[in-house]
Amino acid sequence: MTELAAVKAALKTQAVETPSWAYGNSGTRFKVFAQQGVPRTPQEKLDDAAKVHEFTAVAPTVALHIPWDKVADYAALAKHAEDRGVRLGAINSNTFQDDDYRLGSICHPDAAVRRKAVDHLLECVDIMDATGSTDLKLWFADGTNYPGQDDIRARQDRLAEGLAEVYERLGEGQRMLLEYKLFEPAFYTTDVPDWGTAYAHCLKLGEKAQVVVDTGHHAPGTNIEFIVATLLREDKLGGFDFNSRFYADDDLMVGAADPFQLFRIMYEVVRGGGFTPEVAFMLDQCHNIEAKIPAIIRSVMNVQEATAKALLVDRAALAEAQAAGDVLGANAVLMDAYNTDVRPLLREVREEMGLDPDPVAAYRRSGWAERIVAERVGGEQAGWGA
């Protein structure tokens, strides 16, 4: 197999999970902007996700958020997804939208509140059993706003205790993915603020616990590819939440703010052996002002482009330059791959997969956007927090 053929073959195996919440209404803390045709039910979110997969062929799974996607029959929801050519993916917990969680959830000083939070996480594992999902994704808004508000070390003890109980509930083939976030909504301390804290907890829990890297959850100037390389080296990288940030947790389309950073991250994934199903490529985005389905298709395409460039890096030439101490030569190898226009290559890949070479244009011609506006009238639109 030629090098180009190998790159094409690898791209055809890629899978990018889309988030159910990205199909609903979203906005800022000032205003949530409603759009016509937005899904009203988890089933309609899956219908939209199926369209993303139809035109890209690399978005086969959809992450759920509980209770936003709560239904009476999860097996039926899984069947609904299957009938439309997709599957249910990671189950995301929600311990940040209840009044009881004002001072935290799993780290709360009140044992009764901690019990409530852990019971919700255990419920999410039950949902995994019903849907066939293998990934429980955990992000905690827990933290403090003021010095002295709570005992920092005690909160870590509570976190460890709660995580351990949930970890023991995981079944065969299931895993826990722990996400970290620099700040927000807590502003003085965050209980899982960085990859080191997440890694320490996952290391203690065991092999079923791994770290999720949300590309928007870092301080300015953070070398995210270093984090990725280190977690891969330690076999603790469970997946990504892909998005872009300019200032904080902006949740913009992946690659929008810094496509070069996305390429650098994907190179470390490829170089570190992370281009496998064991490292989940997930989107975590809010499409506040743009049309949602085309934006998600565009995000998937951005991940594909960064991956294609990463796969094109001449690793033998790079290793030779690095071993020789050729600083400029090594950098040039990376830049040559990054500056390659991979769009013609990806058009060929899509055509070979029986797809339209331009997924966004194909979606626009499909009439789906007009259909959902006409049909989704009445009821309550899904949105952030719904």
Q: What are the residues whose beta carbons fall under 8 Å from the beta carbon of 362, sequence distance 6 or more?
A: 55, 355, 356
pLDDT for 384? 77
Q: At what angle do helices 74-83 and 42-56 cross, to 10 degrees?
A: 30
**φ, ψ for residue 18 (rounded to 5)?**
-100, 150
CA atoms within 13 A on the CB side of 7: 20
Alpha helices in 206-326 (DSSP H): 224-233, 259-271, 292-311, 315-323
CA atoms within 13 A on the CB side of 247: 2
pLDDT for 1? 64
pLDDT for 28? 84
Among 375, 384, 385, residue whose Cα is nearest residue 36: 375
- Helix (H) or strand (E) holding 256, with range, is none
pLDDT for 259? 97
pLDDT for 385? 59
Q: What are the residues whose beta carbons fall under 8 Å from the beta carbon of 247, sequence distance 6 or more?
A: none
pLDDT for 29? 80
Run means of pLDDT, 10 residues per run, the chain, 386 residues: 89 98 91 94 98 98 97 98 98 97 98 98 98 98 98 98 98 98 96 98 98 97 98 98 95 96 98 96 96 98 98 98 98 98 98 98 98 95 76
Structure tokens, 147: 């010095």
Nearest-angstrom CA–CA distance, 137 and 176: 6
Q: What is the 3-state secondary structure (H, E, C) of 22-85?
A: HHCEEECCCCEECCCCCCCCHHHHHHHHHHHHHHHCCCCEEEEECCCCCCCCHHHHHHHHHHCC
Query: CATH code for 10-311?
Result: 3.20.20.150
Nearest-angstrom CA–CA distance, 297 and 293: 6
pTM of the model: 0.96
